């Protein structure tokens, strides 16, 4: 934790506080994923055992309006009835078979229908696994070893990609993780986002070695910033010219920004796409897919090995399919855009004349404590993270839960009511008054 962050221990009498004491003895850092430890904002995390719609309830009975949505999957809000019913019904017939099951076929067909660049799919258990496998496939397919990533983009805790990485790694000031062999890290080239000249220079020097370029088309692990007009097109063109595969990491943006993810919005066709979060309906899931001629290099058809005992798990796929069907039935993406626009309109009024920057696309958003523009990691790091921590805690004390790090995006769900957003806005007026 940085020195200038206030330490705010929970009331010693709370259940959350006593769970936190126990957790720190037996879970590393008290958590199973580092950002949750509140190191980016100071103080102690609370424990949650109930969530419904846009609300989470901690073990002491306090309610919060939630803008994290379990880091993206909860696009219909928490515990939507359709998902609960699908999981309950499916579980009655078995929780895992390790044998092909019909839901895998339905999910693969659904993904290919919603994301036209994807002709074939392989399911995994997390976004990290999906990315790890996609990178191996890109290397196996092209016979090349080098990969290119973007500063501040995060693609899960994949060895080759924990280089200048965003998300928790950035929050903790460890963007280059220990434990990654130098020989492997050397094969990863990083470039700043929204700077096509840097990428051109890399292709000039290393073009024939590059297996793939991987990016979050809308980087959302160093806050949230957008690709400038023409940028993604230029990346696509460079990859095509040099025979490198273009991988869109849509674990966060897929099935969220639009039916077909960011690639639908920006009109770009990647060679491979990695997916997760929304397609698992809150259960552990990941997937990658793309051109059939590339995907057919995977075992059992091809020489690139990839496998998983729980891959294609019926519970996860039942949950994900139920969630996707409901999103299509209610046209959830239109509702998310409308809610996002409402929140943005309020925030723009609120931050006018202040050294704050609000960025949004669809149902994803970020408030930076710096004057804009924020268009890459260097800009994002100008944000006053101590000010963010104060804002985070002030919001939390008033029943609003944002991600406990400046470098994570906020998420809306279709369950966020206009009233919940108005309530949030009223609290924001007070919280941001001093900035
Ligand atoms: N790195 C994840 C979000 N970008 C956080 C995952 C978690 O803590 O659950």
* pLDDT tens track for 172-220: 877 889 999 999 999 999 999 999 999 999 999 999 999 999 999 999 9
Model pLDDT, residue 2: 40
What residue has token string 């309530």? 423
Domains in the chain: boundaries: 3-79+331-432, 81-329
The ligand 1 atom at the shortest distance from the C-alpha of residue 220 is 4
Model pLDDT, residue 172: 83
313 in ligand 1 pocket by Cβ < 6 Å? Answer: no
Decide if pLDDT at 3 tops 60: no
Determine the Cα–Cα distance for residues 426 and 418; give it in Å rounded to an integer: 12
**Ligand 1 midpoint to CA 41 (Å):** 15
Decide if pLDDT at 4 tops 60: no
Going from the C-alpha of 100 to that of each of 63, 97, 223, 297, 309, the distances in angstroms are 41, 8, 39, 20, 11
Model pLDDT, residue 5: 46
Instruction: Tell me whether domains 3-79+331-432 and 81-329 share a fold.
Output: no
The ligand 1 atom at the shortest distance from the C-alpha of residue 32 is 8
Would residue 3 show up in a list of annotated catalytic residues for this protein? no
CATH code of domain 81-329? 3.40.640.10
- Closest CA relative to residue 122, chosen from 319, 316, 290: 290
Q: Render pLDDT for 413-433 as a digit per residue (tens, 0 to 9).
A: 999 999 999 999 999 998 888
259 in ligand 1 pocket by Cβ < 6 Å? Answer: no
Give the global pTM: 0.96
Residue nearest to atom 8 of ligand 1 (CA): 33
Determine the Cα–Cα distance for residues 386 and 375; give it in Å rounded to an integer: 21
* Topology, domain 3-79+331-432: 3.90.1150
Average pLDDT over residues 23-52: 97
The ligand 1 atom at the shortest distance from the C-alpha of residue 252 is 4
- Closest CA relative to residue 318, chosen from 72, 101, 23, 49: 101
- Closest CA relative to residue 91, chosen from 279, 317, 278, 276: 317
The pairing of beta strand 357-361 with beta strand 210-215: unpaired
Would residue 277 show up in a list of annotated catalytic residues for this protein? yes
DSSP of 409-424: -EE--TT--HHHHHHH
Could you tell me the pLDDT band of residue 170, with boundaries at 50, 70 and 90?
Answer: confident
Centre a 10 Å sphere on the Cβ of residue 292 and count the other Cβ atoms it contains.
11
369 in ligand 1 pocket by Cβ < 6 Å? Answer: no
Decide if pLDDT at 6 tops 80: no
Would residue 434 show up in a list of annotated catalytic residues for this protein? no
């Amino acid at each position: 934790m940085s020195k200038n962050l206030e330490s705010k221990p929970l009331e010693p009498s709370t259940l959350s506080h006593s769970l936190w004491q126990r957790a720190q003895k037996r879970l590393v850092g008290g958590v199973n994923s580092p950002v949750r430890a509140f190191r980016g904002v100071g103080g102690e995390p609370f424990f949650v055992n109930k969530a419904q719609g846009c609300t989470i309830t901690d073990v002491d009975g306090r309610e919060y309006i939630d803008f994290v949505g379990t880091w993206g999957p909860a696009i219909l809000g928490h515990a939507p009835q359709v998902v609960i019913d699908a999981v309950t019904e499916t579980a009655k017939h078995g929780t895992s078979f390790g044998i092909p099951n019909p839901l895998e076929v339905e999910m693969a067909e659904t993904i290919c229908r919603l994301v036209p660049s994807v002709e074939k799919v392989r399911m995994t258990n997390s976004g990290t696994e999906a990315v790890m496998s996609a990178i191996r496939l890109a290397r196996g397919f092209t016979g090349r070893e080098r990969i290119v990533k973007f500063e501040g983009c995060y693609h899960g805790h994949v060895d080759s990609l924990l280089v200048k990485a965003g998300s928790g790694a950035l929050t903790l000031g460890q963007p280059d993780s220990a434990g990654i062999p130098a020989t492997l890290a050397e094969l990863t080239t990083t470039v700043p986002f929204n700077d096509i000249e840097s990428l051109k220079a890399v292709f000039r020097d290393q073009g024939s070695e590059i297996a793939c370029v991987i990016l979050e088309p809308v980087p959302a692990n160093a806050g949230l910033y957008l690709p400038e007009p023409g940028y993604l097109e230029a990346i696509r063109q460079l990859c095509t010219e040099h025979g490198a595969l273009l991988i869109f990491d849509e674990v966060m943006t897929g099935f969220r920004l639009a039916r077909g993810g960011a690639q639908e919005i920006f009109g770009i066709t990647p060679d491979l796409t990695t997916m997760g979060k929304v397609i698992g309906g809150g259960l552990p899931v990941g997937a990658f897919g793309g051109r059939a001629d590339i995907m057919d290099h995977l075992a059992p058809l091809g020489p690139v090995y990839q496998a998983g005992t729980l891959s294609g798990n019926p519970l996860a796929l039942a949950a994900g399919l139920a969630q996707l069907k409901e999103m299509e039935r209610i046209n959830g993406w239109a509702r998310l855009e409308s809610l996002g626009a409402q929140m943005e309109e309020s925030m723009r009024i609120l931050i006018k004349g202040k050294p704050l920057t609000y960025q949004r696309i669809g149902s994803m958003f970020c408030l930076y404590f710096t004057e804009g523009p924020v268009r890459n990691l260097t800009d994002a790091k100008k944000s006053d993270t101590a000010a963010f921590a104060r804002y985070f805690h002030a919001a939390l004390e008033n029943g609003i839960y944002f991600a406990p790090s400046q470098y994570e995006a906020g998420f809306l769900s279709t369950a966020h009511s206009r009233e919940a957003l108005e309530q949030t806005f009223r609290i924001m007026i007070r919280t941001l008054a001093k900035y």
